[in-house]
Amino acid sequence: MKKYDLGALTQKARDARQYAQAKYSHFKVGAALLADDNSVITGSNVESSSYGLTICAERVALTKALSEGITKFKAIAIAAKDGSFCSPCGACRQLLYDYAPDLDIILTDGKNNKTYKIKDLLPLAFEDTQLG
Ligand code: THU
């Protein structure tokens, strides 16, 4: 397992929830993406009246980082309401795997954490090597 301050990272994910734009689902999510240079890029979910345009917290964090030239990542922490774990959706798993196939995924319920590898959460993933 990679070395980082799990408590600090999960707290940043929990803090990021406050910026969630979740007026349709009322399900607020925060994410904190730890880059190889130890910078942390946060994200929250952003919902649309055209529901399908909604973007999850994880993809907001990832695209914020990539669009600022931060491209190598160690881990992402994900927080929803205290007391429950929030598992990343399929679309987020694909995008996280595309850009960080060795990423640690940390789910926090505010008290306890569960850590997974992205490759284990997306078995038999489609990947760029298949594009030929
Ligand atoms: N959501 C996330 O932001 N991340 C997840 O891992 C799961 C779901 C958001 C999308 C939507 O705004 C709300 O939670 C309900 O699905």
CA of residue 101 to ligand 1 center, whole Å: 21
Name the residue of 54, 62, 106 whose CB sits within 8 Å of the most ligand 1 atoms, as the mutation to test its pocket. 54
Structural domain of residue 96, as residue ranges? 6-120
d(CA 70, CA 61): 11
The CATH number that applies at residue 65 is 3.40.140.10
pLDDT in tens, 42-78: 999 999 999 999 999 999 999 999 999 999 999 999 9
* Amino acid 14: pLDDT: 98
Is residue 22 one of the residues assigned to a domain? Answer: yes
Is residue 16 one of the residues assigned to a domain? Answer: yes
b/e 34-64 (16+ beta carbons within 10 angstroms → b): bbeeeebbbbbbbbeeeeeebbbbbbbbbee
Is residue 15 one of the residues assigned to a domain? Answer: yes
Mean pLDDT within 110-120: 98
CA of residue 72 to ligand 1 center, whole Å: 24
Number of domains in the chain: 1
Mean pLDDT within 22-32: 98
Q: What is the pTM of this model?
A: 0.97
Stated as kind and residue range, the H or E segment containing 75 is strand 73-79
